[in-house]
Structure 1
Amino acid sequence: MTPATTTELDVLGALLAFDFIGFAQKSAALDPADARYGQAVGCAFGLAARRRFPRGAHPEEVRAYVARFLGSLEAGAEDFDAAVLEALIFAGLDGDGGQGPGLTDPERTMQARLVLTLRWVRELELGPEEQRELLAQAGRRVAV
């Protein structure tokens, strides 16, 4: 794994562990100008999306999920565009580790991927060992 991949997965790991100080510290080391920025988190996001929607998803299902997701946020829903979240989920389901259609802001894309991955890990009730395996699997896929 590259240092950038390791750092991204460390950021996601800290978030999943609710280590918000570690999350903030590790996030500061990320460089949105790096050509590989978001790749490792994108891979973990795609893996989590395929676990959350194991048989794929129809547009109506994703639209309803996004509406429930946004409605459940106590604060910050205004930071996310529903259509972009839908496109992001479909890109993850399709195995697109890059930017899906309409996803032109790498920092917003990263933020959305992090929040949705956290949400799916909680919904799927993945314990610490399963979380480590998800991160390791993402690291292996990015390294290929």
Structure 2
Amino acid sequence: MTSVTSKELELLGALLAFDFIGFAQKSAALDPADPHYGQAVGAAFGIAVRRRFPRGATPREVSGYVADVLGSLDAGAEDFDPAFLERLVSDGLSGDTEPDGERLDPETTIQARLVLTLRLVRELSLGPDQQRELLAEAAHRVAV
């Protein structure tokens, strides 16, 4: 596992464990300029979103889901463009992390995927063991 992959998965693991001090420390250790930045979080997000929508989702379902997520945030919903989140969910469902070779803003993308992954893990009721399995599967996908 590359250094950035393990750091990202440790970051996501801290978030899922509600270890906000660890999350802040691990977040500061990431380098958005790294060419692999965001890949591991993207892999974990894709796995989680496909588990949440195992049969896929229509654009209307994706839009409704994003509206529900944004409506449930106590603070920070204004930081996320609903159309951008809808695109991330749709791309996650298709397994496409960089559609048509387009490079998404890495920092905004990782932040959005972290928020969405946390929500998906909670909805799927993944306990600590299942969370570790999710992170291990993401590490494997990034390594392949």
Superposition TM-score tier, normalisation by shorter sequence: over 0.9
Q: CA RMSD in A?
A: 1.5
TM-score by length of 2: 0.96
User: Within 1, Cα distance between the matches of 2:2 and 2:34?
Assistant: 12
SS of the residue corresponding to residue 54 of structure 1 reads: coil
Q: Which amino acid aligns with 1:22?
A: G
Do the aligned residues in 2 keep the contact of 1:87 with 1:100 (CA within 8 Å)? no
1:79-113 deviation line (CA, Å, top 9, x unaligned):
00000000000111111233689873110100000
User: Within 1, Cα distance between the matches of 2:98 and 2:130?
Assistant: 24
**Structure 2 residue 61 is the aligned partner of structure 1 residue 71:** no
1:51-86 deviation line (CA, Å, top 9, x unaligned):
111100000000011111111111101100000000
TM-score by length of 1: 0.96
Question: Aligned in 2, Cα 1:79/1:11: closer, same or farther, shift over 3 Å?
Answer: same
Q: Which amino acid aligns with 1:84?
A: F
User: Within 2, Cα distance between the matches of 1:121 and 1:110?
Assistant: 16
Do the aligned residues in 2 keep the contact of 1:87 with 1:102 (CA within 8 Å)? no
Determine the structure 2 residue equivalent to 1:130: 130
SS of the residue corresponding to residue 35 of structure 1 reads: coil
Do the aligned residues in 1 keep the contact of 2:44 with 2:134 (CA within 8 Å)? yes
Do the aligned residues in 2 keep the contact of 1:91 with 1:100 (CA within 8 Å)? no
Determine the structure 2 residue equivalent to 1:51: 51
Identity of aligned residues (%): 71
Determine the structure 2 residue equivalent to 1:24: 24
SS of the residue corresponding to residue 125 of structure 1 reads: coil
Do the aligned residues in 1 keep the contact of 2:98 with 2:104 (CA within 8 Å)? no
SS of the residue corresponding to residue 35 of structure 2 reads: coil
User: Within 2, Cα distance between the matches of 1:132 and 1:88?
Assistant: 23
Determine the structure 2 residue equivalent to 1:13: 13
Please give the residue correspondences for 1:90-109 in structure 2 after superposition, counting only pairs within 5 Å: 90-98=90-98, 104-109=104-109
Question: Aligned in 2, Cα 1:92/1:100: closer, same or farther, shift over 3 Å?
Answer: farther
Determine the structure 2 residue equivalent to 1:42: 42
Determine the structure 2 residue equivalent to 1:80: 80
Q: Which amino acid aligns with 1:137?
A: E
Which runs of no fewer than 5 residues in structure 1 stay unpaired?
A: none
Aligned residue pair count: 144
